[in-house]
Chain A
Amino acid sequence: MIIGEYKTDYGQDEGIWNTWAKKLGFVVALLLLLLIPFIGNDYQLLMAGQIAIFVIAVVGLNVLVGYTGLMSLGHGAFFALGAYTTVALHQFFPHLFPLITLIISMVVAGFFGFLFGLPSLRVKGLYLAVATLSANFIVLFFIRQDWLEHLTGGRGGIETPNAYFFGTELITNQQKYFLIVPIAIVMFLFAQNLFRSRFGRALIAIRDNDHSAEILGISLFNYKLKSFVISAAYCGAAGTLWAYFFPAILPEDFGLNMSITLLICLVAGGMGRSLGPIFGTILILMVPELLKMGAFYFSEGNASAQIYFSPIRDIVFGLMIIGFLIFEPMGLVSIWDRFWRFINRWPFAK
């Protein structure tokens, strides 16, 4: 509890930034995000853009997995749908305004989310995980097909367009940063808002106790499907930005590995917590970079040692997910919570 906080009406109590510390934190974070493109080098901006894109997808996954309690192993598919929709759209309208592409991608991904969410009404937990896993395989199967090759590039992948923002082509990572990060902030805040009002509350209720949620008047049919659609649409948006950000895409980019990586980001950060996706994504995307540096250091630039890199990265990822589950099941956010609890109580208690 932060001392000296008192509120005079319910509106203040209902706010997200209901303490000065949170307000300050948000402002500082915004300033930092504004500063990054001017101080970071190209490589750092590449990482920043990638993290921002992943944050969008993981926030979306959090809506479904963290807040609604439905399992998904297929969100790579929605990511793919967003990316390929963008590529296909730009073949017909090369200078399409990026936000329009974004919305169309979200609608397309959301529609498929609706389709693959249909089993969620009949089946729970594990069955859903396998149903979504199947969705992932099926979507990628169609993307690889020859008869869609003119749109998707088939198994060989396809070059992706750059975004045109009022006639300016966004080429450098710095330019792209200014497209991606604001979208990420808006989408993050949208999700954050969801869970303090009627809609999101209903989703959490379904997670905690679906039977009593239904008896309170929450239509499981409606809300589970909507949760699927939202999270798919978020991944679709991430896919669009991914297509703008990177020069080319391959079907394999969006396979099971992508789906699992998204889940790991969520677990590492903390499921069902708003800051979880941010912490988790930063950690998980930084780990391979650190490993790369470490591998370079230990092998002293020896190229033959580089072949060990990818299996070691896999093992580290796998052990990290298990380690989090065993030692910190609520993810990095709970460390963050403990830290602030400590600060708030210090020096009176630990």
Chain B
Amino acid sequence: MLSVQEASLSFGGIHALSELTFEAKQGEITAIIGPNGAGKTSLFNIISGFYKPQAGRVFFQDQDITHARPDKRAALGIARTFQNIALFRGMTVLENIKLGSHSRLKSGLFDSGIYYGAARREEIALRNELERDVIDFLELDHIRNLHVATLPYGLQKRVELARALALQPKVLLLDEPVAGMNREETEDIARFILDIQERWNTTILLVEHDMSMVMDISDQVIVLNFGKQIASGTPKDVQNNPAVIEAYLGTSAKGAA
């Protein structure tokens, strides 16, 4: 479905990713974990096209997208959220979500400017669809006309998820969706993620530090350290993998001796 092959990315002397290879399977939730600076967000950035890897390739549905521009990748159905919220702060929740569906809509300059006719029909159809599939689904109906800048952090994160969902993505990249949230909010988001998977059979990639959530919901876990994959497998396999324990807790006393 989505695979990265031997991708390397470095900034100056720092190797954010070195020869990383992995694959996400259709309809599964793949979690990517690792200590800070392990290259998780860099991996997302080469998948969504914000950075280009210096070596290696990115494939999506057997298509080489290594050099495609980010907007082309969105049109193919790759959506993402950001670690630091990247909403359009001047707009309302509804406008933010509508922007998510940009690449699915058609009306161009003249349709938009004339409005009555094609653009209006499209807007109303879109509004119907978004209200049903996104706003209602993510329980955002009470805030749809508020400006995003006024919302609390947890809701902003949820709006970002809604915006990504409005793309009707085939692959959804979630960069720390529950960072800084309390237990209850975390459970809400986890439930939404599972619902998305179930309802649209979306392939989901997840970067997250909240281990209990990762272990609960993911089908496959990939562990990165220093830009390299050090382990992968089911949550249970990974939990017992000595290399993972070492990366998280440091070298054990026995190993150091």
Q: Which residues of A pack against B, CB within 8 Å?
A: 9-11, 13-14, 190-191, 193-194, 196-202, 204-205, 207-209, 211-221, 226, 230, 272
Contacting residues, chain A, for B115 (C-beta < 8 A): 193, 196-197
Which one, B117-125, B193-201, B215-223, is touching chain A?
B117-125
Could you write out 27 A-B pairs with CB less than 8 Å apart?
A11-B120, A14-B120, A193-B112, A196-B115, A196-B123, A197-B112, A197-B123, A198-B122, A199-B111, A204-B95, A205-B91, A205-B102, A208-B90, A212-B86, A212-B87, A214-B49, A214-B70, A215-B49, A215-B71, A215-B73, A216-B163, A217-B103, A217-B167, A218-B71, A219-B69, A219-B72, A220-B71
From B71, B108, B109, B122, A214 is in contact (CB under 8 Å) with B71
User: Is B50 a contact partner of A216 (Cβ separation < 8 A)?
Assistant: no
User: Is B48 a contact partner of A197 (Cβ separation < 8 A)?
Assistant: no
Judge whether B131 is part of the interface by a CB distance below 8 angstroms: yes
Contacting residues, chain B, for A215 (C-beta < 8 A): 48-50, 70-71, 73-74, 80
Judge whether B209 is part of the interface by a CB distance below 8 angstroms: no
Closest residue to A226 on the B side, CB-wise?
Answer: B109
From A190, A197, A209, A213, B107 is in contact (CB under 8 Å) with A197
Main secondary structure of the interface of A (DSSP, over half): helix
Q: Which residues of B pack against A, CB within 8 Å?
A: 48-50, 69-75, 79-80, 82, 86-91, 95, 98-100, 102-103, 105-109, 111-115, 119-120, 122-124, 127-128, 131, 163, 167
Contacting residues, chain B, for A212 (C-beta < 8 A): 82, 86-88
From A10, A213, A214, A221, B131 is in contact (CB under 8 Å) with A10
- CB within 8 Å for A217 and B75 given contacts A198-B119, A201-B102: yes
User: Is B91 a contact partner of A208 (Cβ separation < 8 A)?
Assistant: yes
Min CB distance B172 to A, Å, is: 12
Docked CA distance A207–B103 (Å): 18
Give the A-B pair count, Cβ closer than 8 A.
121
Known: A190-B113, A193-B112, A208-B91. 5 other contacts (CB 8 A): A190-B114, A194-B113, A209-B86, A217-B167, A219-B69
Min CB distance A299 to B, Å, is: 46
Docked CA distance A208–B128 (Å): 26
Docked CA distance A190–B116 (Å): 11
Docked CA distance A191–B113 (Å): 6
User: Is A211 a contact partner of B107 (Cβ separation < 8 A)?
Assistant: no
Contacting residues, chain A, for B122 (C-beta < 8 A): 197-198
Contacting residues, chain B, for A221 (C-beta < 8 A): 69
- CB within 8 Å for A10 and B124 given contacts A204-B88, A217-B103: yes
Docked CA distance A205–B92 (Å): 12
Min CB distance B140 to A, Å, is: 16
- CB within 8 Å for A216 and B91 given contacts A10-B124, A194-B112, A197-B115: no
Docked CA distance A185–B110 (Å): 17
Contacting residues, chain A, for B167 (C-beta < 8 A): 216-217
Contacting residues, chain A, for B103 (C-beta < 8 A): 216-218
User: Is B127 a contact partner of A198 (Cβ separation < 8 A)?
Assistant: no
